Amino acid sequence: MIIITGAAGFVGSCLASRLNRDGYVDLVLVDDFSKEIKKRNWENLQYAELVDRNDFFSWAIGKGNLIQFVFHIGARTDTTEFNVDLLNQLNFEYSKNMWNLCLEEGIPMVYASSAATYGMGEFGFSDDYQHINDLKPLNPYGQSKQDFDLWVLAQERAPFFWAGLKFFNVYGPNEYHKGRMASVILHAMDQISAKKQLNLFKSHHPGFKDGEQKRDFVYVMDVLNVLIFLMNHRKDSGIYNLGSGTANTFKLLAESVFAALHLEPSIHFIDTPVDIRDKYQYYTCADMQKLKQIGFDIPFTSLEDGIKSYVQEYLLTNSIY
């Protein structure tokens, strides 16, 4: 059986659906399934069991020899969450328990880290560990992910295969429940549908024109390709970036959403709120060489094509993956 934590959420439910499409149905889905808003993400999946996240470790007693792989995707992902105790419980301690289970039972695992660990990008966006101890995340969420990455690298014993993935800006179907934490593409779609125009933040940096701020946006379908590759690869343990490897402007993102809707772009620039201006990132881009060096060679979807797929195949049809 394959364990997927965060299975009711965005990436976790897409992963479960992809595994079903690939013929895997002996899945154990782990999450808080009490939230009605997420039910669409998992109710039509094929799986062996649903397990509440609080019951998982007691459920797993005596089942280690049945578990073939763990995808530990679940986490508290709200970057505005300032309850450090909650983040420590859900993102750090829970992950330590998962690591120790996989270590003791000989189970390979992949876990979700985050590009939020890079902070302002003072040391670049390389996953080679050279500056990993120096990284300064901008919020408690990012710090919780950084804390676990550092804890992992400090361990003398490890599962026979493990990988931590620093997700960059993932977008795609099944994120409708995320509210303000949903991708810029979903928020753009909502705003354009309502007003036929889109507001973007002005640049307050002399090196960037309005709308030329850049992010590494990665389509969830590409994320799934990496997850499946690692499940089959099962060697070269380590922490890896997971972005597209390309930095695209918010202006291109906006124009791509309008194009997918067959509308002429109508973009307006507004001031970036003062309270976030000093922590606003003007550039992120994943260095993807490390993943390619271990054999991952599937091309990543361009931002334009990813947005076209997301908008036309999922958002306009109110579909999930």
pLDDT attached to residue 66 = 97
Q: 39 versus 85: which is more confidently predicted?
A: 39
Task: Assess whether pLDDT exceeds 80 at residue 77.
Answer: no
pLDDT attached to residue 39 = 97
pLDDT attached to residue 172 = 98
Percent of the chain with pLDDT over 70: 100
pLDDT attached to residue 80 = 74
In a domain, 190, yes or no: no
Structural domains in the chain (count): 1
Q: What is the average per-residue pLDDT within 132-140?
A: 94
Residue 100: give its domain's CATH number: 3.40.50.720
- Residue 245 — pLDDT band, cuts 50, 70, 90? very high
* C-alpha span between 237 and 81 (Å, rounded): 30
In the chain, the DSSP E strands lie at 2-5, 27-31, 49-52, 69-72, 109-114, 162-167, 169-171, 198-201, 214-215, 217-219, 238-242, 248-249, 267-270
Per-residue pLDDT reduced to its tens digit, 182-203: 999 999 999 999 999 999 999 9
In a domain, 76, yes or no: yes
Q: What one-character DSSP code corresponds to residue 165?
A: E
In a domain, 197, yes or no: no
Catalytic residues: 141, 178
- Residue 81 — pLDDT band, cuts 50, 70, 90? confident
Q: What is the average per-residue pLDDT within 163-187?
A: 96
Q: What is the average per-residue pLDDT within 68-90?
A: 85
pLDDT attached to residue 200 = 95
In a domain, 195, yes or no: no
In a domain, 277, yes or no: no
Percent of the chain with pLDDT over 90: 90
Torsion 280-285-287-291 (CA) sign: positive
Q: What is the average per-residue pLDDT within 254-273?
A: 96
In a domain, 71, yes or no: yes
Q: How far is CA 231 from CA 23, 70, 107, 108, 110, in A?
A: 14, 9, 11, 8, 8
In a domain, 204, yes or no: no
Task: Assess whether pLDDT exceeds 80 at residue 82.
Answer: no
β-strand pairing of 109-114 with 162-167? parallel
Per-residue pLDDT reduced to its tens digit, 276-285: 888 888 999 9
Q: Reduced to 3 states, what is the DSSP secondary structure of residue 44? A: coil
- Whole-number average pLDDT of the chain: 95
Per-residue pLDDT reduced to its tens digit, 189-244: 999 999 999 999 999 999 999 999 999 999 999 999 999 999 999 999 999 999 99
- What range defines the domain where residue 104 resides? 2-172+217-246+285-301
